[in-house]
Structure 1
C-alpha cells in the first residue's frame, strides 16, 4: 500500500497567507494600493542601501519580505479561541506571547499565532494577532449577559474545517487536496459579512460601551480587520500615504527612526466606514477594517526591553497630543539614551544576535580560537541582529484606538490575567524572549563547534 503523503505545515501556511491576502484585497481595494506603495518604497530602499540588501539576503529575509504579512482578529469566547489554536496548528503556527491591552484601556487580552523555528519563519512568517474579548470587564450586567447570549448562538467555523482539523490531529497531516480544502474552508472564518446578527438598538448599546465590543459581538465571525505588509522605511510610507488617497493615523507607533531599527514600528490608514444591514432590516454603518504597515528591527533582551519601555513611557508623556513630526522629534531626543550602534547593543547585552561563520571562517575549521570575540575580531565570525517577530502591547492598543475613534476606558486598565487567557486558549503561550535567547545560544554553540571541526550541531 502506498503511504499517504502529507503536505508540510509551512506549505499550508504559505497557501493560506496568500489566499487571505487575495481575499482582503478584493474586500478592501485600498489594501492593494497599500501593497503597491510598500513594494515601491522597499525596492527604492534596497537600491539606496546595498549593505542592507546584502544583509537581508544573507539572513534569508529578502525572499520572505514580499510575502510577509500579519493579520489581526478578535474573538468573543474561550471556545472560539481554543478552536483557533487548533486551526492555526494545522499551519504550523503557535501562540507566542501574552499581551494585556487592558493596560491601555482596551477590553481584550491577546497572543500572536506564528511559526517558531528558523526554517518556518524563512518560508513564510505569517502571524495572526488574536485577541479575546474580556466580557468580565463590561460594567453593565445587562450588556454583559446580552453579549454572552449573542456569542453563544454563533459558530465561526464551518463543519468541514472542523473535520479537517480533527483529521490533521488524528492522522498527523493533510494531503495536498485536503490542504486546499482546508484553506478554502478556513478563509470563511475570516471573511467580512455585511449582515449583523443583532438589531440596531443592540448594536448601539454595545457600541456606546466600546466600539471594539460591538465589533466582536455583533457579527457572524471575527472578520480579519487588517493585513499588514512589512516595509523597510515606514517614515517614507507614512509620508506618501496621503498621495495614494489614504488617511494615515497621526503618529507612528513604537520606537522612533534609528540607524539600527529595534522591535516594531507601526502605522495605518484610518478604518473604513462600511454599510451594514441589521436585524429587522435597519441600515447603518460600522467602522472596523483598516490598512496597517509595519517595520521590524532587532529583538531586545530583557535588559534592552526594560530600557525601551522606560524611554517609551517618558517619550509618550512628553509628546502627548503632538503631530507626527513633533512627536518623532521628542522621541528621537528621549531615545538617545538607547545606543544606536549594533556593536554597542551587543556588548551591552541589549539585543539578541545570531552568530555565523564568514567565508574565511569556513576555511579555518580546526585551527581557530574558541573565544567568540576573538573570532569576530579575526573576521571569522559575524554577528547579525535577530529580527523581532512579535508585537508590542502599547503599539497594538494605539492602533486599535486610532481605528476605533480614539476610545479608551480607564475602568479596563490594569487587569492582566494570563492564567485565564491560557485556560481559554487550552494551552500555555510560549515566552517570546526565550525563543530569541535560544536562537542566540544555539548559533554560538554551532559556530564554536564548527571552528573546532565538530560535525554535530547544538
Structure 2
C-alpha cells in the first residue's frame, strides 16, 4: 500500500481548497486577504524585534496560512460525522460553548490541531455549532424542521467511504487524500436552492435567522473564513477604504501592548439570491448568513487570568489586568512556553529558580497563542451578522454539554489542560537542556 499522507498535510490541502472555493463564492473575502496581508507586512516592517520574536516562536511561518472557519449543523448524526471527517485531518474537538444564554440557539465546539508541532505547521480550526431544535418554541415548526433535516445528507457517498477507509486503515494515501479533500469540500459549498418553501423559510426566520440558515439548505455551507491580522484596529480602520463596511465595534478585549485572547471584527452578512421550491417551479428570494471576518490572536490566559478578564469585562474596566508580559507571567495569569537561550546553553546554570534563570538571560519565556474562542465574542459576531436581537430570556437554559458530547460521540478536550501541558513540557525540556532537574510545579 502507498504511504499515508500525514494528517497535517491533508489539513493544509483542505484549508487551501476551502479558501479558494470561498474566495470564488464571496469575492470580498479576497479583498480581506489582501488587506490583512498588507497590514501584517507593515506591522512586521515597523517592528523588527517583534517580527524576530514571531519567527523564533514559529508564529511567523504559520501567519499567512492561518484560517478559522465556521459551520452550523442540524443533527447529532451530522455533528458526529463532521467530527470523524476532521479527525482525518488531525483536528480534535476542544472546549464546549453554550451560546443559548446569549440568544443564539446552538451549542458548539472548535475542531483544531492540539499538538504544538501540528499547530505550527497549520493551525486551521473550525468552530462547529449544533442547532438546538428544542429551543424552537412552536411545536409544529420544530417538527417540520426536524423532518426537513432528517431528509438530507450533507456528506457525499465518496466522503463517507474515505472517512471509513481512513479509520480502518489508519490513514489515506496520496490519491485518497486528494479525493477526500474534493469530496468533503462539497459539504462546505454554498447552495442557492432552498429545501423548504418560502412560507416555511419565513416562519423559521421569525423563530431565529440562524435556525433558518441551518434548516433551509442542502448543506451547512461555510459561513465565514477568517484570516489572522497582527493589528485588528488598523484592519478595522482600513476596511472602508477597500469598499468593506465593518461592524461598529471590535469583539473581545480592548487594544493592549500585550495582546490577550481573541479580538474579532467582521463585515455584514451578504444578501444572496436563493430559490424556494413551489408547485409552479421556484420562487425567488434572498438569504443573509455568510460574512467576512478578521481576527487578532493574543496570549492564552490561565484560569486565574480568565477570571480576572471576565471580571474586567463585566465591569468594563481592564485596569486590574496587567499589560506587561512579565507581570502576566509572574502573576500566573497567562500561559508561557519556555526555551533555553544560547547564553543559557553555553554557561553552567547555578540555580533551578525559573525567575532567576530568566533574569540572567538563560531562559526565554514566550506567550502561548490563544488557539480557541470566546463565547461572548462568538455570540456577538453571530448576532450582528444575522440581524438578530438577543433573546437571552427565551434561551436562558442550563448548558447541555453532556448532550452535546453524546451527539458528538466523544468528550471535548479542556483547553486549559492543553495549555498547561504545553507550558509544563516546555519547562521540563528547558531545564533538562540546561542540565537541571526540577519537578514542574503542579
TM over 0.5: yes
CA RMSD of aligned residues (A): 1.2
Partner of 2:56: 58
Which of 345, 349, 374 is equivalent to 2:356? 374
What secondary structure is seen at the aligned counterpart in 1 of 2:311? helix
What is the CA–CA distance in structure 1 between the aligned matches of 2:261 and 2:203, rounded to whole Å?
A: 38
Partner of 1:88: 86
What secondary structure is seen at the aligned counterpart in 1 of 2:54? helix
Deviation sequence 1:242-273 (CA, Å, 0-9, x none):
11111111110000000000000000011000
Stretch deviating more after TM superposition (437-446 or 67-76):
437-446
What is the CA–CA distance in structure 2 between the aligned matches of 1:202 and 1:247, rounded to whole Å?
A: 31
- Cα drift, residue 36 of structure 1: 0.2
Q: When the two structures are superposed, what TM-score results if normalisation uses the length of structure 1?
A: 0.93
- Cα drift, residue 336 of structure 1: 1.5
* Correspondences of 1:386-401 after superposition (within 5 Å): 386-401=368-383
* Correspondences of 1:338-349 after superposition (within 5 Å): 338-349=321-332
Stretch deviating more after TM superposition (354-363 or 53-62):
354-363
Runs (4+) off by over 2 Å: 366-369
What is the CA–CA distance in structure 1 between the aligned matches of 2:124 and 2:17, rounded to whole Å?
A: 12
Partner of 1:113: 111
What secondary structure is seen at the aligned counterpart in 1 of 2:217? coil
What is the CA–CA distance in structure 1 between the aligned matches of 2:434 and 2:39, rounded to whole Å?
A: 40
* Correspondences of 1:36-185 after superposition (within 5 Å): 36-185=34-183
Deviation sequence 1:72-98 (CA, Å, 0-9, x none):
000000000000000000000000010
CA contact (8 A) 1:264 1:388 kept: yes
Q: Would you say 1:357 and 2:340 are equivalent positions?
A: yes
CA contact (8 A) 2:66 2:122 kept: yes
Structure 1 residues not aligned, in runs of 5+: 316-333
- Cα drift, residue 453 of structure 1: 6.8
Stretch deviating more after TM superposition (285-294 or 45-54):
45-54
Q: When the two structures are superposed, what TM-score results if normalisation uses the length of structure 2?
A: 0.97
Partner of 2:418: 435
Deviation sequence 1:175-210 (CA, Å, 0-9, x none):
011000000000000000000001100000000000
**Gap change, CA 1:408 and 1:367, over 3 Å in 2:** closer
Which of 444, 447, 450 is equivalent to 2:433? 450
Partner of 1:299: 300
CA contact (8 A) 1:96 1:430 kept: yes
What is the CA–CA distance in structure 1 between the aligned matches of 2:153 and 2:362, rounded to whole Å?
A: 57
- Cα drift, residue 367 of structure 1: 4.3
What secondary structure is seen at the aligned counterpart in 2 of 1:335? coil
CA contact (8 A) 1:370 1:452 kept: no
What is the CA–CA distance in structure 2 between the aligned matches of 1:304 and 1:269, rounded to whole Å?
A: 30
What is the CA–CA distance in structure 2 between the aligned matches of 1:411 and 1:417, rounded to whole Å?
A: 16
CA contact (8 A) 1:210 1:407 kept: no
CA contact (8 A) 1:370 1:451 kept: no
What secondary structure is seen at the aligned counterpart in 2 of 1:337? coil
Partner of 1:269: 267
What is the CA–CA distance in structure 2 between the aligned matches of 1:17 and 1:176, rounded to whole Å?
A: 16
What is the CA–CA distance in structure 2 between the aligned matches of 1:26 and 1:138, rounded to whole Å?
A: 34
Deviation sequence 1:400-437 (CA, Å, 0-9, x none):
00001042222012431100000000000000011001
Structure 2 residues not aligned, in runs of 5+: none
Deviation sequence 1:214-259 (CA, Å, 0-9, x none):
0000000000000000000000000011111111111100000000
Partner of 1:402: 384
CA contact (8 A) 2:208 2:388 kept: no
What is the CA–CA distance in structure 1 between the aligned matches of 2:409 and 2:71, rounded to whole Å?
A: 18
Deviation sequence 1:25-45 (CA, Å, 0-9, x none):
000000000000000000001
